Amino acid sequence: MKSLQEIWDNLQVQQAQNVVAHQLTWARLEALEEQNSAQQIQLSGLSAVQQRSSATILHYATGGSLPWTISIIDSEGDVGSSSSLAFDPAGQPAISYRDSTNSELKFARFNGSSWEIQSAVANGGSHTSLAFGPDGHPAISHFDVWIGLRLARFNGSSWDHSTVDSGGDVGRFSSLAFGPEGQPAISYDDNTNGDLKFARFNGSSWELTTVDSTVSTTVIGGFSSLAFGPDGQPAISYFDTSAGDLKFSRFNGSSWVISPPVDSTGNVGHDTSLAFGPDGQPAVSYRDVTNGNLKFARFNGSSWDLTTVDSSYSVGGFSSLAFGPDGQPAISYHDYTNSALKFARFDGSSWVVSPALDSAGFVGQETSLCFGSDGLPAISYFDSTNDDLKFARMGPFISPP
C-alpha cells in the first residue's frame, strides 16, 4: 500500500502535467487566432480591391467621368507609330508599335509597377496588330516592306517569326485575331492586286484567301479590321478605295459573303474598327472624309443603322472601337482640327464626346482602345510632335488581385 506521501507526490506530478497540457493548448489556440486574423486581413484587402474595381465599373456604366492619366511609354528616337493595345491574361496592358529610328517592331508590357520594353523583330513593324493567344503569350502581325505580311509570336522566352504572305506588296492594314480553335487569323490588303485578303493558320501552315477584289488598280481592302462573331466565324470591315465606300464581309462557314456597302454617302470608310456587341451583332467605327466626321454603324439584324458621333469638322482619324463593361460602345480617335486625342462613348441614348484627352502638340494618331479588367478604358497612341509612344487610361489603374 502506498503511503500518504507517495499519493501526494503523484498528485503533484499529475497536476504539473495538466498545467503544461493546458499551456500547450492555449498556445495552439493563440497561434490559430493569429493565423485567422491574418487571413481576415488578407481577405478584407482582397475584397477592398474587388470592391474598388466594382465601384469604378459602376461609375463608368452610370456615366460617371473620371480624369485621364497620360503617360509616355517610349521616347527613345522616333517611336510609337502603328500602335496596338491589348490586355494580357493577368490584366496588364501591352502595346505593339514601330521604332522608325531603328526599323524595329517593339513590344511594351506593364509588369505591375513599370513598363518593360523589348525588340520583337529587327525589321518591319509597321501596320502592327497585337493579340494574346490561348497560351497567354502575345502575337503581333506586321508589315515588312521587303518581305510582306509577317507574324511575330512569343514562345515564353523569345520571339518566333514566320512569313504569312510574300506574294507581292502585301500586308498593310493587318488586323490579327485568334479564332475559337485557338489559331491566329489576319486580314490585310494586297496592294499589288488591290485586293482584301485573309490568312488563317491551320496548325501547320497558312491558308490564304482573297475575300474581295477589284478590276481596277485601286486598293479595296484598306483599313481592314478583323473580328470573330459569336458564331465563331470571322468578319472584316474595310474601305473600298475605288468606290469610296465602307464595306463589310463575313464568312458563313463555307465562303465569304460580301454585303452591299454599309455606307456609300460620299468618301466614307477610312480608319475602320470592327467589334461585336453583347447582342452578337457587328458594329463599325469609321471616318467620313467628305464631311470630316466620325461615324458609327451598327447592324440591327436586317440592316445597318448609321450615326454621326462627332461632327466638329475634320475628326475621326485612326478610330478604334470597343464595347465597355456596360455593354455600350466607345471610340478613341484623332481630332485633326485641334491635333488632339479624343474619346466618345454611348450612354444608352446618345453619344457623349469628351473634351480632348491630350492636345499637347500633334497627338492622338494610331489610336488603339481597350477596356481593362478594372472596367475602365485605356488608349495607346502616337505623339508625332515628339515622336513618342503614349498611353492614356481613365481613372486610377487597379491591378487585378
Task: Tell me what pLDDT residue 346 has.
Answer: 98
CA 375 to chain centre: 12
- Give the pLDDT score at 240: 93
Phi/psi at 116 (5° precision): -100, 125
CATH superfamily ID and name for 67-394? Fucose-specific lectin (2.120.10.70)
- Check residue 21 and give its pLDDT: 47
Q: 231, exposed or middle or buried, with CB in 10 Å at 0-12, 13-18, 19+? A: middle
pLDDT at 123: 79
Smallest CA-to-CA distance from 368 within 323, 333, 328 is with 333
Cα separation, 283 vs 329, in Å, equals 9
Q: What is the pLDDT of residue 6?
A: 55
d(Cα 68, Cα 381) in Å, to the nearest integer? 14
The model's pTM: 0.85
**Among residues of the chain, what percentage have pLDDT more than 70?**
81
Q: What is the per-residue pLDDT across 256-271, written as a single tens digit (0 to 9) for each?
A: 999 999 999 999 999 9
Average pLDDT for 326-336: 97
Model confidence at 217, in pLDDT bands (50, 70, 90)? low
pLDDT at residue number 242: 85
In this prediction, residues 77-96 reach a mean pLDDT of 97
pLDDT at position 401 is 47
Least confident interval from 2-16, 129-143, 333-347, 353-367: 2-16
Helix/strand/coil for 181: coil
How do residues 341-359 score in pLDDT, each as one tens digit?
999 999 999 999 999 999 9
Asked whether the predicted pLDDT for residue 24 surpasses 60, the reply is no
CA angle 190, 366, 282 (to 5 degrees): 70
CA dihedral of residues 376, 381, 385, 386 (deg, nearest 10) = 90
Residue owning grid cell 487569323: 185
pLDDT digits (tens, 9 = 90+) for 295-329: 999 999 999 999 999 999 899 999 999 999 999 99
Q: What average pLDDT does the segment 99-107 reach?
A: 96
The three grid cell numbers given for residue 2, joined into one nine-digit string: 502506498
Work out the number of other CB atoms within 10 angstroms of the CB of residue 281: 15
Cα 189 from chain centre:
22
Instruction: Please give the mean pLDDT across all residues of the chain.
Output: 87
pLDDT-based confidence at 8, cuts 50/70/90?
very low
What are 160-183's pLDDT values in tens digits?
A: 999 999 989 999 999 999 999 999
Each domain of the chain, given as residue ranges in start order, spans 1-62, 67-394
Average pLDDT over residues 140-163: 96
Name which residue leads in pLDDT, 50 or 219: 219
Does pLDDT of 46 surpass 50?
no
Question: Residue 221 — pLDDT band, cuts 50, 70, 90?
Answer: confident
Of the two residues 226 and 123, the one the predictor is more confident about is 226
